Amino acid sequence: MTIPMPTMERIRAMDARGTSARQIAKELGVSRNTVAKYVAQEDFSPKPVAHSPRSIVDEYAHIITGWLTDDLQQPKKQRHSGRRVYDRLVAEHGFTGSYSTVQRWVKRWRQSRCQPGEGFNELLWEPGIAQADFGEADVVIQGVRTRVHVLVMTFPYSNARYATALPGETSECVCEGLRQIFEHVGLAPHTIVFDNATGVGKRDWARRVTTTMSSVDFGRGYF
C-alpha cells in the first residue's frame, strides 16, 4: 500500500514523539503494518526510473518496420526472416551490429503485433532434425509473372535453409526436391518433420495417417 508523503511524515513525527503504533494507525486511518513499514524506512527518495539501453537496431527501426509490414501482403515463404533482415541491413545500410540483436528485435516486433489467439511455442531442436514444407513464390519466366511451388528445408539447430523450385507438390516432386537438396548439401538429416505436405501423406476422416511417398535411401551421411 502506498500512502501520500504527508502521511508518511506524520507517521514518523508521531513515532518520534513516542506515540504508539496502534494510536498512530487509529488517528491516521492506516494499518499497523503500514505504520511499522514507514517507521523503519530510512530513505524516502524516489527510486530512479530504470531505462532499457537503446539498441543499435533502433536506428533502423523505420526500415525494418517497412519490410515487415510489406511482408503481410506476401506469401509466407517470401517474408523476411530474422536472418534475411540482418543480411539486408548489412548489405544495403552498412549495419555493424550482430545478427542476434536483429533477431531479438524482429521477434519483439512480431510478438507485439500478435492478435488474441495467435501464439507460438518455443521449440528446442536437436542437431540432425530438419523441417520441410512447400511454399509459393512469384517469379518471372520468359517475361511472364508466374507463381511456382518451392520446397523449403530448414535446419533449426544451425538456422540453415535450402530451397528448390518444382512443378508441383506431388510425392514425386517431394522425392525429387529432397534429392536435389541432399546432393547440394552432401549430407542428409536423420529426421525430417513435414509441415502440411500433401505429397508426403494425409489424415483421413478417421484420423488415420496414410503416406503417399515411398521410402527412399538418400545415403548414409547425416547432419
pLDDT reported for residue 199:
55
Say whether domain 129-211 belongs to CATH 3.40.50.300.
no
Q: Where are the domains of the chain?
A: 5-40, 56-112, 129-211
pLDDT band at 12 (very low <50, low <70, confident <90, very high): confident
Mean pLDDT of the chain: 78
pLDDT in tens, 159-212: 888 888 888 888 888 889 899 999 998 888 888 888 665 556 555 556 565 555
pLDDT reported for residue 216:
41
Mean pLDDT of all residues in 106-129: 69
| Cα separation, 211 vs 214, whole angstroms | 8
Per DSSP, the residues of 100-150 read HHHHHHHHHHHHHTPPTT---------TTEEEEEEEEEEEEETTEEEEEEE
pLDDT in tens, 70-116: 888 877 777 888 899 999 999 999 999 899 899 999 988 888 876 55
Percent of the chain exceeding pLDDT 70 equals 75
Q: Spell out a b/e string for 81-118, using b for 16 or more CB atoms within 10 Å of the CB, else e.
A: ebebbbebbeeeeebebebebbbebbeebeeeeeeeee
> At CB < 8 A and 24+ separation, what contacts does 61-68 make?
61/105, 63/89, 63/93, 64/89, 64/102, 64/105, 64/106, 64/109, 65/109, 68/106, 68/109, 68/110
Is 28 within 8 Å of 4 (Cβ atoms)?
Answer: no
pLDDT at residue 221 is higher than 50: no
pLDDT band at 217 (very low <50, low <70, confident <90, very high): very low
Contacts (Cβ under 8 Å, ≥6 apart) of 171? 199, 200, 212, 213, 214
pLDDT at residue 19 is higher than 50: yes
pLDDT in tens, 46-61: 566 555 567 789 899 9
